[in-house]
Amino acid sequence: MPVDKEIYNQIAASLQSRNVTLVAVSKTKPVSDILELYDAGQRDFGENYVQELVEKQETLPKDIRWHFIGHLQTNKVKAIAPFVYLIHGVDSYKLLKEINKQAARNQRTIPCLLQVHIAREETKFGFNEEELEELFVRHQDLLNELEYAAITGFMGMATFTDDPLVVRSEFQYLKNLFDKYKNIRQIDGKKFMTLSMGMSGDFEEAIADGSNMVRIGSLLFGARDYIV
């Protein structure tokens, strides 16, 4: 399925008017598709796989803002540390420490979003409410050690369900946690200000509940291409 530029222009204009950042999820999509949206003005792209991201970054224009939105293993951080714009799925203090280490080696600050587990599925990753309290309140000394990993917000994924009440309640829960912690962290002028929630099937609900960054793939690029 080709890139739907008409849908892209509609979504991009709507989000811009509401100060919501659009991350075009380009995982498994060819460079040619990304360039189509790039030529239409899109600059934020999201990838799930480290090797794929590295290969695309080497080929595509250098002013693209690359978002890593997948589950990131600590041993893969060094591959994207030189250029990644924002890491969305930080789900442990161990990963934060590694990001800080690799960012220091590259003499840059890497913005990070803590992934919060809000869905009913156990397969999804993320901090729970108690772990956030532990990190932000009882162990602020640990956060003070992170000079190069800048925690700038939260990310969450709602339960995969057709029940809008479940989805809305999970988004509202994450927004409440975001509001609770948003004034705690500020590193190098990077405020805790990003709430990344909402994808192709639920981004309007997410925005209604306070999201200011959405991750949209299939609406723009069509179904994912998987190599078997």
H or E element at residue 211:
none
Local confidence band at 138 (pLDDT 50, 70, 90 cut-offs): confident
Helix (H, G, I), strand (E, B) or coil at 28: coil
If we measure between CA atoms, which residue out of 101, 82, 102, 91 comes closest to residue 126?
Answer: 91
How far is the C-alpha of 70 from the C-alpha of 115, rounded, in Å?
10
Structure token digits, residue 119: 């869905």
Give the model's pLDDT for residue 22.
98
Across the range 95-120, mean pLDDT stands at 94
Token pair belonging to 13: 């204009």
Please give the model's pTM, rounded to 2 decimal places: 0.92
Which residue ranges make up each domain of the chain? 5-217
Per-residue pLDDT, averaged over 184-213, amounts to: 84
Instruction: Give me the sign of the Cα torsion angle 160, 164, 167, 171.
Output: positive
Nearest to 92 by CA among 37, 149, 166, 157: 149
Residue-wise pLDDT tens digits, 141-165: 777 888 999 999 999 999 888 888 9
Task: Tell me phi and psi for residue 145, to 5 degrees.
Answer: -80, -15
Tell me what the mean pLDDT of segment 158-177 comes to: 92
Whether 113 contacts 196, CB under 8 Å: yes
What tens digit of pLDDT does each residue of 24-38 get? 999 999 999 999 999
Neighbours of 79 (CB within 10 A): 15
Neighbour count for residue 102 (Cβ, 10 Å): 22
Task: Decide if pLDDT at 1 tops 90.
Answer: no
**Residue 187 scores a pLDDT above 70:** no
Q: Which residues are CB-contacts of 156 (< 8 A; sequence separation ≥ 6)?
A: 115, 116, 117, 118, 119, 126, 170, 171, 174, 196, 197
Cα 74 to Cα 37, 65, 165: the distances in Å are 31, 21, 35
Q: Provide, rounded to the nearest whole percent, the portion of the chain with pLDDT above 70.
A: 92
What does the pLDDT read at residue 162?
84
CB 116 within 8 A of CB 157: no
Q: Which of 3.30.70.141, 3.40.50.300, 3.20.20.10, 3.30.530.20 would CATH assign to domain 5-217?
A: 3.20.20.10
Distance, CA of 167 to CA of 109 (rounded, Å): 33
What's the CA gap between 224 and 199, in Å, rounded? Answer: 14
Distances (CA, A) of 22 to 90, 145, 185, 220: 20, 31, 24, 11
Q: Judge whether 8 and 37 are in contact, CB under 8 Å.
A: yes
